[in-house]
Amino acid sequence: MTVAVAATVAWQVSGHAVTDIPLYHAYGERLAGGLVPYRDFEFEYPPGALPALVLPALVSDSLSGYRVVFAAEMAVAGAIGVLLLAAGLRRLGRARDDRRTTLAVVAVLPAFLGGVILTRFDLVPAALVAGALVLLIGGRLRAAAVVVGLGIAVKLYPAVLLPLLGVVAWRKGGRRELTVVVALSLAPVAVAYLPFLLVGPDGVLDSLGRQLGRPLQIESVGAGVLLALHQAAGIDLEWASGSGSQNLRGTGADALAVLQGIAQAAALALVWVSFARGPATVERLVRHAAASVVAFVALSKVLSPQFLVWLVLLVPLVGGIRSRAALWLTALACALTALWFPARYWELVKEFDPLSSWAVLARGLTLLALLATLMWPAREPEPARSRSPAPSPGRT
């Protein structure tokens, strides 16, 4: 986390930081003042994010103090996430040299993501997902289901892991185990949302609806295609701010947003079906978990830089012959992001800066290559039976 702190401070001092801290501070102050999110003010995140946002406001009233406490809070979450990643690598039986290489690469990545890694709360759900994978590697399916549910309550994306848990549960104990695992996964989400559904149902539904109906954000892979066409063929582009991001607008952008939504759903379904058609071994579970999150990120209509934080603590767990390629593609995606964010972000938005435009496309293609790498058929090592989350088909 030393690199993350140094990079975050450097961007703040440089004056180029693009941060959500003022928004978080406003939320925290309202919460500390007794206002209820969803009912008394619009709140775009799941309710599980509230503790991370309100704690710094309880410690400090000033924006500068809030910024310091929030960054410290995320540094702790990141350190826990790295420790969980290291534990997962050990439980998977990775060689010591491989573990050192992996952790060294992960330690450097905050230099590329310094503009977001400690100024967004994405390290919290990322650490929860890493913790869930460690539990799954150890065969603790039910505990992992609870942790995944906590992750969903903080940021919705861990929901893409639920079908994988369902497959493992069915293989392990049939309908009864599946029912238990689904209930344990949804319980934290229900506990988080239910009070707000009772006092502010319209605000909760509006929050969820805004996430589903967002337009084509300017850093998505579809936007990268349009930006490249703008540079190469001179097609006209327009942008506008809305839904908490800067987006491309127009018929082409709207059509690509729809196509990306369809492609995202199809890619996720293919990942889940692929896992269901093979043995539920630890290595396959880890790989398909990483592929699920990568598919969600790569084909999302919104691809903010902080989404890459979700991959940094997950993709390095993938083993086998594809492990190095997956690790380096993740690093490349982070490095390409650093070409425009945060220093050239507004040049990208307002001027469709050529370097940034091509970098957006290259980052999108890199993430698609990462997805292909994770899903490409290859022989994988069979883990020891004690490390399997569930018996493979035909075993008892």
pLDDT at 382: 52
pLDDT of 155 over the 80 cut: yes
When pLDDT is cut at 50, 70 and 90, the band that residue 212 belongs to is confident
pLDDT at 3: 60
For residues 392 and 351, what is the distance between their CA atoms, to the nearest angstrom? Answer: 54
When pLDDT is cut at 50, 70 and 90, the band that residue 243 belongs to is confident
When pLDDT is cut at 50, 70 and 90, the band that residue 379 belongs to is low
Report, as an integer, the average pLDDT of 226-246.
Answer: 94
Tokens of 222: 């579809």
pLDDT at 115: 80
Per-residue pLDDT tens over the stretch 334-356: 999 999 999 899 999 999 999 99
pLDDT at 389: 53
Peptide bond into 342 cis (omega under 30): yes
pLDDT of 359 over the 90 cut: yes
Per-residue pLDDT tens over the stretch 123-135: 999 999 999 999 9
When pLDDT is cut at 50, 70 and 90, the band that residue 384 belongs to is very low
State the DSSP string of 263-325.
Answer: HHHHHHHHHHHHHHTS---HHHHHHHHHHHHHHHHHT-S---TTHHHHHHTTGGG--STTHHH
